[in-house]
Structure 1
Amino acid sequence: MAAAEGTVIMNEEELKRKQREKLKKLQATGGNPRPARTLFMFSLKNPFRKACTKIVEWKTFEIIILLTIFANCIALAVFLPMPEEDSNNTNTSLESLEYIFLVIFTAECFLKIVAYGLVFHEGAYLRNCWNILDFVIVFMGLFTFALDTINKIAGVPMEKASSAAPQTSHPEPAVRRKHRPVPLVPSLPRVEQDEADSYV
């Protein structure tokens, strides 16, 4: 009987000890448990990781990201797809603005990966469905930008760089490479000439 009571007391003490350790861990991470190391190099005490965590958990930063997403949606709605290499001043401005959006979203992705880890830890960046969508969009945007830059350096014409979809005079992120097909209508003089030939 005494042995059983001693076992119960030990179990209670061990449980309390684990609870104290868990509480200390939560206090050390500001109430949000984080992995001890991210990307195999950034510990909890790393100054750069601390700065990244502070930024991504800053309420103003979240508001900035939400406003950027809203502005990007407006830009996508205003953008007017045009055939071949045609463009206008509005589209050119929006294409330049798209790079600013890409930089902001890339910075957000990088800061969150450093703060929370990539995928191996609980609460890591790619453990969230929305973050997976953001990561895919950022990756495609960076890949398209890198590919267009390499083509420019190599001197490859834009129309030869991608035969699947026509390009504009400025490189665009992959999320905006949508062109509306325009039917080719023969000009009036050509129709009249065909009619004239049919009578001969």
Structure 2
Amino acid sequence: MSECPKATKSVIMNEEELKRKQREKLKKLQATGGNPRPARSLFLFTLRNPFRKACINIVEWKTFEIIILLTIFANCIALAVFLPMPEEDSNNTNASLESLEYIFLIIFTLECFLKIVAYGFVFHEGAYLRNCWNILDFVIVFMGLFTFVLDTVNKIAGNRPIPVPPSGPATAAQQTRKPDPAVRRKRRPIPTIPSVQEPTESNSEV
């Protein structure tokens, strides 16, 4: 008779433990968008990797999600306030918003990188690019980085002095600070022969 309560108690404990595990699993699935975490992300980081663990903790941190939402909201306000001007003109407000845009780009790039390390890129179930919203985020981040690199290259190319090729022998002579041989020949004094004066009338009479 004493064994029946123990058996019943063990069954109840097993059921409670099973429900607890199911709740934990459900929380993990909700945190990852309803998909389980892959065993390896980017073919490099396992679930036991300290760096990947840190990325998962940051991405699944509620405060981090709130920060990303506030950043998206601030970015929308900045886009609404920005005033396009013709011929690449600008004002102080636009200049400040352009500087703020780089901060937004850094935050979104960091979010993209952390999620890719945490959940994988595309080849695993529940990977980063298996979510439609993440695809939109990735396209926006990629275009922002591409535009930043393109602007940087254009600025570097614009500040670089353009070499002017020599236009002729005279330019080469000026660069070497030596007169051209043809110029020397032209500047060389031509030897003059004393002119034979024609006999004047007085001389002819003599």
User: Scaled by the length of structure 2, what TM-score is found?
Assistant: 0.61
- Amino acid in the other structure paired with 1:96: S
CA distance in 1 between counterparts of 2:159 and 2:37 reads: 46
The answer for the alignment partner of 2:174 in structure 1 is: none
C-alpha displacement of 1:30:
7.3
- Please provide the CA RMSD for this pair: 2.2
Partner amino acid, structure 1, of 2:28: G
- Trace 1:18-33 onto structure 2 (pairs within 5 A): 31-32=28-29, 33=36
* Residue deviations 1:84-130 (CA, integer Å, cap 9, x gap): 12111000000000000000000000000000001111111101111
Return 5+ residue gaps in structure 2 as ranges.
1-17, 30-35, 161-206
Alpha-carbon distance between aligned partners in 1 of 2:103 and 2:45, rounded to the nearest angstrom: 28
C-alpha distance in 2 between matches for 1:126 and 1:156:
39
CA distance in 2, matches of 1:145, 1:86: 19
Shift of 1:156: 6.7
Matches within 5 A, 1:1-200: 31-32=28-29, 33-155=36-158
**TM-fit CA distance, 1:152:** 1.8
> Which TM-score applies when normalising by structure 1?
0.63
> C-alpha offsets along residues 141-168 of structure 1, whole Å, 9 cap, x if unaligned?
00010111122222379xxxxxxxxxxx
Instruction: Report the equivalent of 1:195.
Output: none
The number of aligned residues is 134
Question: Secondary structure of 1:31's match?
Answer: helix
Identity of aligned residues (%): 83
How many Å apart are 1:60 and its aligned residue? 0.1
Paired with 2:159 and 2:140, the residues of 1 have a C-alpha distance of 25
* Equivalent-residue separation in structure 2 for 1:94 and 1:110 (angstroms): 24
Identify if the C-alpha distance between structure 1 residues 155 and 80 changes in structure 2 by more than 3 Å, giving closer, same or farther.
same
Shift of 1:56: 0.4
Number of the residue aligned with 1:193: none
**Equivalent-residue separation in structure 2 for 1:118 and 1:108 (angstroms):** 13
Give the residue type in structure 1 aligned to 2:59.
Answer: V
Structure 1, unmatched stretches of 5+, are: 1-19, 158-200
In the alignment, the residues of structure 1 paired with residue 45 and residue 156 of structure 2 have an alpha-carbon distance, to the nearest angstrom, of: 35
Distance 1:117 1:92 in 2: 37
CA distance in 1, matches of 2:99, 2:28: 41
